[in-house]
A and B are shown apart, each in its own frame.
Chain A
Amino acid sequence: MTAAVLSVRNLTVAFPTRRGTLTAVDGVSFDIMPGEVLGVVGESGAGKSLTGAAIIGLIEPPGRIAGGEVRLADERIDHLRPEALRRIRGKRIGMVFQDPLTSLNPLFRIGDQLVETITTHTDMSSAQARQRALSLLSEVGIPAPQQRIDNYPHQLSGGMRQRVVLALALAAGPELLIADEPTTALDVSIQAQIIALLRTLCRQRGLAVMLITHDMGMIAEIADRVAVMYAGRIVEIGPLHSVIRSPLHPYTRGLIGSIPTIDSDKDRLVQIPGSMPRLTAIPHGCAFHPRCPRAFAPCPTHRPELKDQAHAQVACWLYHEAPSAT
């Protein structure tokens, strides 16, 4: 476990409010190896985007990292000053967000945005940076980059814009890419293109990728390992095949069963009753127990921790020795 590009231990993100502290991310731990894609799935409010934001130090106040540590190539980055963190962000950690229109500056040509990023993080001259920008644009599959480089974002289609955002994220040669719902705003045919591109890039560059998404289909195609989040905690983490084929946690099972597929013809979808708890009212014990079809004695009172089970790790009393009811 020495070579992990990103190592997160017990990360906790809290928001102080007048009615007490809300814990939005609660003791999350995982590693990402070079060339590995970790898919982080969960529904809205599970804390997956916040985990990503915490790693790159982009939690908006009054939210703050209340505990745990984040290591990038064995170097602790969670307590760095904003100044030092800014030099890492963009250079060693690239980011891709959901909406390509809001992550590009509409007033600047895409070439200028790329050149700015490259010159900020490297000691290239702007002429060299422009050459690099051109090669990046062709690497992300933009046809005729010579003509496109002087376009403004609005002149490009959504898929093209997301390619530019990807080029920006890769501009300074990062070790880690955090992609937060990178294809949600795109059409299926374009989604498939972006996913194929992402996969090629991370294979070629040995890039570690943290892919945050609610789309299991995307995870199934590109991730090596999957972490499933619920109410701020990882409830199951393991290799792709194990999580998708033989999910352990009842939440993971429900989540996978509720996805309509084009191959099956079942009449009703599996449905998980109820909805994700609000941060102000996370149930005691296992947060999933009020919705869980298999909840039993220890669930409402004792919180399960992540423990090894088969090929994965799962936080569920079905698999661990339950504490004696006291």
Chain B
Amino acid sequence: MSTGPFLQVDNLGCVFDVSRRWLNRVIEGLPRRLLRAAAGVTFSIERRETFALVGESGSGKSTVARMMVGLIAPTTGDVVIDGVSMTDPRQARERRRLRQRIQMVFQDPYASLNPRWRARDIVAEPLRAYGLAGTRQDIDAEVGALLPLVGLDPADGAKYPHEFSGGQRQRIALARALASRPDFVVCDEPTSALDVSVQAQTLNLMRDLQERFGLTYLFISHNLAVVRHMANRIGVMYLGRLVEVADARELFGAPKHPYTRMLLAAVPDLTLSGRARKAVAGEPPSPIDPPAGCAFHPRCPHARDQCRTELPQLAVVQSSQVACHGVAEGWIPASPSGA
């Protein structure tokens, strides 16, 4: 056990090479094309906390999640979980032990479960892979205990994934994630493929499990209402960079970055309060050729010349961290204009 935050992400960056093949580049005279999926991402997560990453498609939130669990090697930066670096070659042995304490739940429960395996084999896979249960009887007993935890019948273990609904499949995925007794679970859009009533069941279940097992969650979603319900702290991403990191209460009560305000204003209003949903102009630019300066400036109503040339860094503003020249220098009013 180390002091400091449970998990520290430091200057994490990922660049994908999307160039044509070498020969094509030479013959057709094409330059190398790089896609910067994430850059300079820095945040920390405390134990038993839920940290959420929100953003639109292509904002790099899934790439960050995958780097954190080691599915993609970061181009720059490091992730340190419980004192163990995910990149340092000297800590390979510690990392192997750490791996079983990290699990992931994916978005699409139709793609993340092997259709040819029975549910009990899917749930038992981490037990077998990490050698956590000895005999067949031990494994069966463990699986028999895991299924009721997620609200499934132990007898369901004999069924195949196609016999379950989307919500039940996501429960199987949760049981599998819990099998190796993790401390840290990364949930990448766990409910966006589910109906609202099933989503409510799944979110409630995830909160219960967090309380019961003291889990730390990284929760990824594009749905701000879901994030509000789940997260203690939130990081807002735009085109591969964090633009705002704040406590959930602060972020929803007093959003600071113009992009955060825009996202909040675009959320549909169910209370019929008459708050008109503001349509936002424009679309996110391509990460292959991002705008200079602040990546949000082409869509930002407050943009000035400085924003077009100079990249804003995350800076502490009140209790949040915001990457915006206007907020840092005070020429964008700190209180939201009716979000």
Contacts and interface: CB of A to CB of B under 8 A. Distances in A.
Contacts, number: 119
A105 interface: no
A269 B283 contact: no
B280 A259 contact: no
Contacts of B17: none
B19 interface: no
Given A216-B196, A255-B196, A272-B197, A189 B268 contact: no
Interface in A58-92: none
Give the interface residue-count category, chain A. Answer: 35 or more
Contacts of A195: 277, 279
B226 interface: yes
A190 B279 CA distance: 8
Contacts of B268: 192, 215-218, 220-221
A186 B146 CA distance: 36
Interface residues of B, number: 40
Contacts of B283: 157, 159-160, 189-190
Nearest to A256: B270
A188 B266 CA distance: 6
A275 to B, nearest CB: 5
Contacts of B284: 187
A260 interface: yes
Contacts of B198: 43, 275
Name, among B57, B268, B278, the residue most crowded by chain A CB atoms within 10 Å (CB to CB).
B268
Contact of B229 (A191, A220, A221, A269): A269
B267 interface: yes
A225 to B, nearest CB: 14
A49 to B, nearest CB: 13
A273 B201 CA distance: 8
A254 interface: yes
A214 B119 CA distance: 28
Nearest to B286: A157
B56 A258 contact: no
B200 A258 contact: yes
A121 interface: no
Contacts of A273: 201
B114 interface: no
Contact of A262 (B197, B201, B252): B252
Interface of A: 43-44, 157, 159-160, 187-193, 195-196, 214-218, 220-221, 240-241, 244-245, 254-263, 265, 268-273, 275-276
15 contacts: A43-B195, A188-B222, A189-B279, A215-B268, A217-B267, A220-B269, A221-B268, A244-B270, A259-B196, A260-B199, A260-B223, A262-B225, A262-B264, A263-B269, A269-B229
